[in-house]
Amino acid sequence: MVKVRSKEPVIPVDRGNIDVSRRPIVQTSKGSATIYSTDLREGNKTVLIPMIAETDDGRGRAMGYNEAVLYYQKTGKHLGKFNTDADATKYGMWLHNEEQRRLNKRNMKDIRR
């Protein structure tokens, strides 16, 4: 469900089931974010899981690691599954950068109006 702007550095074994273009924007200690992730080892795969939960009111909220794991276990929502931790990390960094570019571009459009 990731809308690709630049070439993915790693192809997930199992594509994520989250449309990142429709994620709520959450304020974190590091600024605005729609994608903030961590990984979890599940069997012989590493799952990239979101650390921003979608809330009923559409606002979203940041979660800690343990809560993010519970959120994944409850919802099954993930950003991709990978053969190695390194692949998950590389993809997570790429996804974060892609989303940051998208947000910056959107903010520039808002400023120009």
- Least confident range of 48-57, 89-98, 104-113: 104-113
**Between these two residues, 77 and 103, which has the higher pLDDT value?**
77
Is residue 56 predicted with pLDDT exceeding 80? Answer: yes
Q: How confident is the model at residue 112 (pLDDT cuts 50, 70, 90)?
A: very low
Q: What is the pLDDT of residues 17-35, one digit of tens each?
A: 998 888 888 877 777 777 8
If you write DSSP's letter for every residue of 75-96 in order, what string do you get? H---SEEESSHHHHHHHHHHHH
